[in-house]
Structure 1
Amino acid sequence: MPPQTRVLYNSECPICDAEICHYARYTEKRDLPVRYDALNSDARESWGIDPDTAARRLHVLHDGQLYDGIPAFRILWAQMPRYRWLAWLTGLPLLRPLATLTYDHVLAPWLYRRHLKRMSRG
């Protein structure tokens, strides 16, 4: 049996939640060894990541190693037959840095700022 993959995500972010819930339905339907932990749940403590760090980007634990950002997405996508092509594509020498740059400097900061606004509104 392949090693279990654990995903730590921000369930309070509507965009993150929608995407991860889609993956959860996909993996559950196919009985794939992927577990999803919301950062605002008790499960987050077992990750050893503080809530603010967890809210800034996707984290994946696979085969005993912690990944974040695009490498985390690539590990997650590689676990799902429908999305393996995306893991492969974002791993290509020219696309990996572009995907990482876009996620690290555009998407993740934008989602994080939206998260902080939602939290400040209560």
Structure 2
Amino acid sequence: MDDLRILHNDTCPICAREVAGYARLARKTGLPLEIDGLDAAPAWGIDRDTAAQSFRVDLNGQRHEGLDAFRLLWARLPGWRWLAWLTGLPGLHWLADRGYRHIAAPILYAMHRRRTRKTP
């Protein structure tokens, strides 16, 4: 069985809700899944701010980020495998990867920065 670990921005309500859904499905189906929030970022070799910028997965010691990280997770979850397959198609992979890296991730990170901004 694969050793699958997620690092995600657990301070993001959208991200936390999505990952909680993955966790419920993983428990229900018996998929071993470890979930780390931003406090675990140093153990991944990055700081909290860097960790907040993208979704990450460690699969058997190999680190993956962004769409490829999602695809690794989706491929193991019933009900999500179709999305892993679909986003693996060459043209669609390119489009989905750019959409995540240049639109979704920056928007979620900007929201994170607003939430964590210190007030004087």
TM-score range, shorter chain: over 0.9
In the TM superposition, what is the alpha-carbon distance from 1:46 to its structure 2 partner? 1.6
> How far apart, in 2, do the equivalents of 1:95 and 1:63 lie?
27
Q: Which digits, 9 at most, give the CA deviation of each residue in 1:47-74, with x for residues without a partner?
A: 1111111000001000211000000000
> How far apart, in 1, do the equivalents of 2:101 and 2:14 lie?
16
Residue in structure 2 matched with residue 19 of structure 1 by the alignment: 18
What is the 5 A alignment of 1:65-84? 65-84=62-81
Q: Please tell me whether residue 58 in structure 1 is matched to residue 55 in structure 2.
A: yes
Runs of 4 or more above 4 Å deviation: none
Residue in structure 1 matched with residue 84 of structure 2 by the alignment: 87
Could you list the runs of 5+ residues in structure 1 that have no partner in the other structure? Answer: none
Identity of aligned residues (%): 48
Quick one: which amino acid aligns to residue 91 of structure 1?
G
- SS of the aligned residue for 1:81 comes to coil
Q: Please tell me whether residue 108 in structure 1 is matched to residue 114 in structure 2.
A: no
Residue in structure 1 matched with residue 9 of structure 2 by the alignment: 10
Q: Which digits, 9 at most, give the CA deviation of each residue in 1:71-116, with x for residues without a partner?
A: 0000110111211111010000110000001001100000000000
- SS of the aligned residue for 2:36 comes to strand
- The alignment yields a C-alpha RMSD, in angstroms, of 1.2
Aligned length: 119
Could you list the runs of 5+ residues in structure 2 that have no partner in the other structure? Answer: none
> How far apart, in 1, do the equivalents of 2:74 and 2:109 lie?
22
TM-score (normalised: structure 1): 0.93
In the TM superposition, what is the alpha-carbon distance from 1:44 to its structure 2 partner? 2.7
